[in-house]
Structure 1
Amino acid sequence: MRYLRYHILLRREPEGGYTITVPTLPGCVTFGETVEEATAMAREAVEVYVEGLREKGGEIPTGEGLLEDRLTVEVRR
């Protein structure tokens, strides 16, 4: 067994709860009422996503070699 690590992004929703996206896995998005629930849902979503790729013989993307940074831009009012 091997372990894969994925970067996740959590967004607090105005109506409550959190949406999580997994940038390395396009379309892998889930939701939970709390951070803990959303994270658990993300783990399950990633496992299903990766298993689907494996069954189809597809390449399983990882975050290896990716760099993370922030970008600030000025927006006119």
Structure 2
Amino acid sequence: MKYAVVIEKAEGNYSAYVPDLPGCVATGDTAQEAEANIADAIRFHLEGLREDGIDVPSPTSIVEYVAA
């Protein structure tokens, strides 16, 4: 499964979250580090859901870039 990830520039680092997995977040000093960390966080989050007997939500978010 592939989940949409949002990476945002914060004051001193980058933060990432997954709209389809509430509570699944990560940070990093660079956007690339945040991306690597959120990939680990997704795996950990899904593992925890499975261990708790909770259904893993299917990805539903769509990401598009819009010219302004």
TM-score scaled by structure 1?
Answer: 0.74
State the secondary structure of the residue aligned to 2:8: strand
RMSD of equivalent CA atoms = 1.8
Structure 1: tracts of 5 or more residues without a match: 71-77
State the secondary structure of the residue aligned to 2:4: coil
Contact (CA 8 Å) 2:4, 2:63: kept in 1 or not?
A: no
State the secondary structure of the residue aligned to 1:44: helix
Specify the structure having the higher radius of gyration (Cα). Answer: 1
Structure 1 position 41 matched with structure 2 position 57: no
Report the counterpart of residue 6 of structure 2 in structure 1. Answer: 9
Identical positions, percent? 37
4+ residue segments displaced more than 3 Å:
66-70
State the secondary structure of the residue aligned to 2:15: strand
Structure 1 position 21 matched with structure 2 position 20: no
Higher RCO (CA < 8 A, seq sep 6+): 2
State the secondary structure of the residue aligned to 1:60: coil
Structure 2: tracts of 5 or more residues without a match: none
Pairs aligned (count):
65
Q: CA deviation at 1:17?
A: 1.5
Contact (CA 8 Å) 1:5, 1:62: kept in 2 or not?
A: no
